[in-house]
């Protein structure tokens, strides 16, 4: 059916093309050899617990609106089934948020705004929708066909959250950016925001050692465990609240970690440098209603450079 | 009246008047309090951690540093990312913690795959407590297929102890389980809003040797109306662990501040003054929290969906999510407005748990108009 016809019907009805009944997003023409055996079952805020028990709480934290669930079955092998959930999370930010909490690293499949594929499951988000597919047996082509059908029916044109692009790409662990609707970095006072994981660059490590006129760490080149650190972006409603959160972090470090009086001059005032008992070294800068920070790094200069780049991207 | 309030709190007076109260502040390590988890014999801290919604290893590390030794996760939480995090944090500390995870009802092949995946993610070769997730009916408690699978997991050394979890019909499930030799642990929702019936069923199961793990202990959590000594969260948690038939509570925690607050409840013994405050807090909560049990539905002659008003208040006061509260109120729009509803002289709605519904509706009006 022409997609244009589909769009046209909605346009004539005066309804935004993407604001359609969630069950209509389920594929109608199924891959050959497969049939619908259960559903569509619709869930709301009130009934989601019946479907996924206590995990519904996590969806509520991300603005869950409603969802639909269906099970497809292989006609010749009835024990081979594919379960599909489509969640309306209310906005692209929330859809990304829940997607980012469920994916495990980066195995993109080119579906939606971002996706994750493995042998048994596919996750993707597009617009305000988060879609999750689980197959009892690996059926990569069937699974992909199903999600392509769903994706083609999601007409929400929203782009991915702009904050994702604030994160510098150098050293970024693919698929590691997450959005937390609360408790960023495990702290109540940091509230909501984004976090990305970075691999400390081996070459950078070596350069730093040379700069410091110390012996280059042989383990650093290829051997040893890769050191990870995090860049983060906490978002507040205004500058005043952002400054309060920075103070709360400072108070926490005074109580449980260490605060260093000297901060790198290039970041100006409202900068916090110290040692977090669970994150290691931290450097946090307030810019408008953002706290932009780096945690768990070893070497100062590359960490400061990454932070500076992120601040530049934010500005 | 004093007797009733004390009974409601699950506190026996001689028990609580030992020492004066702790402030609940958490700069120092909490005084750990241990109980035996039923016939498993595991010595668990009375406060554990519900890891479900937590994604930051620092929170788990903090819990460990505080001495908390029991962690509840599940195969399905964040598609296994939750178990992965638990495994990573406790690598090298495995013998110092007890891990509880879950398996869903499927055919044996899928359940076995699920348990094996859990073991890989948790980076361990045994699960301390393997729980069959979310039973609903009493018959399921005596399901021989369930028992057979769990027995195999134990014989193969994959699980040390097994049990079940339930979010509804808990009293009947616990009573049924009490008559059977199958279950060593039951993970059930339990907080100050639940009925005396559940409390009695918990006692019966506990006496039968089933280790009771309480979840959903905060009833949505109330951050307002802070008490002098205990925070509202702490009071809710204290209510649960004051019930000696509960071996351990696993409040859901996502931040370091929350786990500090929860851990501080251990070892707190309550002075008479604190006890009075706790009673007052219970009264405060009793008048404000709706468990959405549905027991009051359909009693309004005008067909007002007042349940939405109650839920809106819960979202506002409990979850502090005004957006969700407003949406809920918008969905409740009828010809009779919230103003008319709050002042309706014909209101005959009652709550079997004693919730003042009229006050709730007035609160919804006050907050959102």
Judging by beta carbons within 10 Å of its beta carbon (0-12, 13-18, 19+), is residue A177 exposed, middle or buried?
A: buried
The CATH number covering residue A129 comes to: 3.40.1000
Task: Quickly tell me which residue has 């460990």 as its tokens.
Answer: B64
Query: Which residues lie across from B211 on neighbouring strands?
Result: B185
Decide if A300 touches B, using CB distance below 8 A: no
Residue A255, SS3 per DSSP: helix
- Collect all residues from B whose CB is shorter than 8 A from any CB in A: 27, 52-59, 61-62, 74, 76-81, 84, 107, 110, 133-134, 167, 215-216, 252, 254-258, 292, 311, 319, 321, 323-324, 328
Q: What is the pLDDT of residues B208-264, one digit of tens each?
A: 999 999 998 876 555 445 555 677 678 788 888 989 999 999 999 999 999 999 999
Q: Which residues in chain B have Cβ-Cβ distances shorter than 8 Å to A103?
A: 79
Q: State residue B309's pLDDT score.
A: 77
Same domain, A308 and A166: yes
Same domain, A112 and A204: no
CB atoms under 10 Å from CB of B260, counted, come to 21
Contact between B255 and A178 using a beta-carbon 8 Å cutoff: no
Q: Integer distance in angstroms from the first to the last C-alpha of chain B?
A: 37
Same domain, A87 and A116: yes
Looking at the predicted structure, is the pLDDT value of residue B7 above 50? no
Biggest CA pair distance of chain A: 72
* Domain span at A269: 162-314
Closest CA to B74 of B100, B93, B48, B97: B100
Q: What is the pLDDT of residues B76-110, one digit of tens each?
A: 888 899 999 999 999 999 999 999 999 988 889 88
Q: Which residues in chain A have Cβ-Cβ distances shorter than 8 Å to B74?
A: 55
Task: Quickly tell me which residue has 């219970």 as its tokens.
Answer: B282
Looking at the predicted structure, is the pLDDT value of residue B319 above 90? no
Closest CA to B265 of B221, B233, B224: B233
Same domain, A176 and A296: yes
- Can you tell me the ipTM of this complex? 0.81
Residue A156: CB partners within 8 Å, gap ≥ 6? A18, A92, A126, A127, A128, A129
Same domain, A147 and A169: no
Task: Quickly tell me which residue has 């609580």 as its tokens.
Answer: B16
Same domain, A30 and A65: yes
The CATH number covering residue A202 comes to: 3.40.1000.20
Of the ranges A5-9, A26-30, A104-108, A294-298, which one carries the lowest mean pLDDT score? A5-9
Q: State residue A53's pLDDT score.
A: 79
Q: State residue B326's pLDDT score.
A: 75
Q: Label residue B306 by pLDDT band (50, 70, 90).
A: confident
CA angle B232, B192, B263 (to 5 degrees): 50
pTM: 0.78
CB B8 within 8 A of CB B209: no
All structural domains of chain B with their residue ranges: 2-282, 306-368
Same domain, A33 and A65: yes
Query: Which residues lie across from A45 on neighbouring strands?
Result: none
Q: What is the pLDDT of residues A158-213, one digit of tens each?
A: 899 999 999 999 999 999 999 999 899 999 999 999 999 999 875 544 443 433 33
Residue A52: CB partners within 8 Å, gap ≥ 6? A59, B76
What's the structural domain count of chain A?
2
C-alpha to C-alpha distance for B121 and B274, rounded to whole angstroms:
43
Between the alpha carbon of residue A12 and those of residues A1, A17, A21, the distances in Å are 17, 10, 16
- Which candidate from B27, B252, B255 shows the least CB-CB separation from A187? B255
CB B161 within 8 A of CB B129: yes
Same domain, A278 and A181: yes
Q: What tokens were used for A96? A: 């990304």
Q: How far is CA A97 from the centre of its chain?
A: 5
C-alpha to C-alpha distance for A272 and A281, rounded to whole angstroms:
11
Residue B112: CB partners within 8 Å, gap ≥ 6? none
Which run of H or E residues covers position B268? none
DSSP class of B252: B
Query: Which residues lie across from B361 on neighbouring strands?
Result: none
Q: What is the pLDDT of residues B350-362, one digit of tens each?
A: 665 566 677 777 7
Same domain, A23 and A54: yes
Residue A201, SS3 per DSSP: coil
The superfamily CATH assigns to domain B2-282 is NADP-dependent oxidoreductase domain (3.20.20.100)
C-alpha to C-alpha distance for A25 and A251, rounded to whole angstroms:
49
CB B76 within 8 A of CB B51: no
Q: Label residue B328 by pLDDT band (50, 70, 90).
A: confident
Between the alpha carbon of residue B368 and those of residues A209, B182, B221, B324, B365, the distances in Å are 60, 50, 20, 12, 5
Name the domain boundary from A130, A153, A176. A153
CA atoms in the 13 A half-sphere facing the CB of B304 = 24
Q: Are strands A258-259 and A228-235 parallel, antiparallel or unpaired?
A: unpaired
Q: What tokens were used for A220? A: 């650093």
Contact between A104 and B53 using a beta-carbon 8 Å cutoff: no
Q: State residue B6's pLDDT score.
A: 34
Q: What is the pLDDT of residues B134-183, one digit of tens each?
A: 887 888 989 988 899 999 999 999 999 999 998 778 899 999 999 998 99
Size of interface A-B (CB pairs under 8 A): 83
C-alpha to C-alpha distance for B275 and B217, rounded to whole angstroms:
19
Q: State residue B225's pLDDT score.
A: 52
C-alpha to C-alpha distance for A150 and B178, rounded to whole angstroms:
47
Decide if A10 touches B, using CB distance below 8 A: no
Q: What is the pLDDT of residues A113-165, one digit of tens each?
A: 999 999 899 999 999 999 999 999 899 999 999 999 999 999 988 899 999 99
C-alpha to C-alpha distance for B188 and B167, rounded to whole angstroms:
6
Decide if A147 touches B, using CB distance below 8 A: no
Task: Put residue B244 in one of left, alpha, beta given phi > 0 → left and psi -120 to 50 → alpha.
Answer: alpha
Same domain, A210 and A190: yes
Task: Quickly tell me which residue has 């916090």 as its tokens.
Answer: A272
Q: What is the pLDDT of residues B289-304, one digit of tens each?
A: 666 555 554 456 666 7
Mean pLDDT value of segment B105-119: 92
Q: What tokens were used for B136? A: 């609903």
Q: Identify from A87, A186, A187 which residue to disrupt to test chain B contact, counting B C-beta atoms within 10 A and taking the largest count.
A: A186
Same domain, A287 and A234: yes
Same domain, A142 and A193: no
Query: Which residues lie across from B296 on neighbouring strands?
Result: none
C-alpha to C-alpha distance for B145 and B105, rounded to whole angstroms:
10
C-alpha to C-alpha distance for B133 and B105, rounded to whole angstroms:
7
C-alpha to C-alpha distance for A96 and A22, rounded to whole angstroms:
18
C-alpha to C-alpha distance for A237 and A249, rounded to whole angstroms:
17
CB A82 within 8 A of CB A69: no
């Amino acid at each position: 059916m022409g997609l244009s016809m589909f769009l046209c019907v909605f346009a004539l009805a005066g309804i935004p093309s993407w604001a359609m009944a969630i069950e209509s997003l389920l594929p109608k023409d199924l891959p050959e050899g497969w049939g619908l055996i259960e559903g569509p079952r619709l869930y709301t805020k009130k009934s989601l617990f019946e479907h996924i028990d206590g995990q519904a709480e996590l969806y509520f934290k991300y603005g869950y609106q409603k969802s639909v669930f269906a099970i497809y079955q292989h006609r010749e092998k009835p024990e081979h089934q594919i379960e599909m959930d489509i969640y309306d999370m209310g906005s692209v930010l929330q859809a990304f948020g829940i997607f980012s909490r469920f994916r495990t690293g980066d195995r993109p499949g080119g579906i939606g705004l971002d996706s994750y594929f493995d042998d048994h499951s596919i996750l993707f988000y597009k617009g305000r929708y988060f879609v999750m597919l689980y197959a009892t047996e690996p059926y990569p082509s069937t699974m992909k066909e199903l999600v392509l059908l769903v994706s083609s029916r999601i007409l929400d044109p929203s782009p991915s959250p702009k904050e994702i692009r604030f994160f510098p790409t150098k050293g970024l662990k693919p698929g590691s950016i997450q959005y937390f609707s609360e408790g960023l970095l495990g702290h109540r006072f940091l509230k909501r925001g984004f976090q990305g994981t970075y691999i400390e660059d081996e070459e950078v490590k070596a350069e730093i050692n040379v700069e410091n006129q110390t012996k280059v760490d042989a383990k650093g080149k290829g051997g040893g465990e890769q050191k990870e650190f995090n860049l983060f972006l906490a978002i507040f409603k205004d500058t005043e609240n952002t400054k309060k959160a920075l103070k709360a972090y400072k108070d926490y470090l005074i109580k449980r970690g260490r605060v260093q009086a000297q901060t790198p001059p290039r970041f100006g005032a409202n900068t916090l440098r110290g040692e977090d008992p669970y994150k290691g070294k931290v450097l946090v800068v307030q810019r408008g209603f953002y706290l932009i920070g780096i945690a768990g790094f070893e070497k100062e200069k590359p960490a400061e450079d990454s932070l500076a780049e992120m601040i530049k991207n934010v500005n | 009246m004093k007797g009733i309030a004390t009974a409601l709190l699950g506190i026996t007076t001689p028990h609580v008047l030992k020492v004066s109260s702790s402030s609940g502040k958490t700069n120092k390590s909490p005084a750990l309090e241990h109980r035996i988890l039923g016939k498993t014999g595991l010595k668990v801290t009375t406060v554990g951690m519900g890891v479900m919604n937590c994604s930051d290893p620092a929170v788990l590390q903090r819990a460990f540093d505080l001495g908390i030794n029991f962690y509840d996760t599940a195969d399905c939480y964040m598609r296994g990312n939750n178990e992965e995090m638990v495994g990573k944090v406790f690598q090298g500390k495995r013998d110092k913690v007890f891990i509880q995870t879950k398996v869903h009802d499927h055919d044996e092949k899928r359940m076995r795959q699920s348990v094996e995946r859990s073991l890989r993610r948790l980076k361990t070769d045994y699960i301390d407590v393997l729980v069959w997730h979310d039973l609903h009916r009493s018959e399921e408690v005596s399901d021989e297929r369930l028992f057979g699978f769990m027995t195999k997991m134990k014989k193969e050394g994959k699980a040390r102890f097994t049990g079940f979890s339930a979010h509804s019909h808990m009293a009947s499930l616990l009573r049924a389980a009490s008559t059977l030799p199958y279950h060593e642990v039951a993970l059930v929702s339990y907080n100050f809003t639940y009925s005396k019936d559940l409390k009695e069923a918990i006692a019966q199961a506990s006496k039968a040797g089933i280790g009771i793990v309480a979840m959903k202990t905060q009833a949505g959590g109330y951050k307002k109306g802070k008490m002098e000594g205990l925070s509202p969260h702490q009071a809710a948690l204290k209510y649960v662990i004051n019930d000696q038939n509960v071996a351990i509570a696993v409040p859901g925690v996502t931040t370091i501040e929350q786990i500090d607050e929860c851990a501080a409840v251990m070892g707190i013994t309550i002075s008479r003054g604190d006890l009075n405050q706790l009673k007052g807090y219970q009264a405060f909560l009793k008048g404000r929290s709706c468990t959405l049990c549905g027991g009051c539905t359909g009693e309004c002659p005008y067909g007002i969906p007042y349940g939405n008003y109650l839920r809106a208040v819960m979202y506002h006061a409990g979850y502090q999510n005004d957006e969700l509260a407003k949406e809920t109120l918008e969905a409740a729009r009828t010809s009779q407005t919230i103003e008319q509803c709050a002042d309706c002289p014909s209101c005959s709605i009652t709550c079997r748990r004693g919730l003042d519904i009229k006050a709730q509706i007035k609160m919804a009006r006050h907050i959102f108009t």
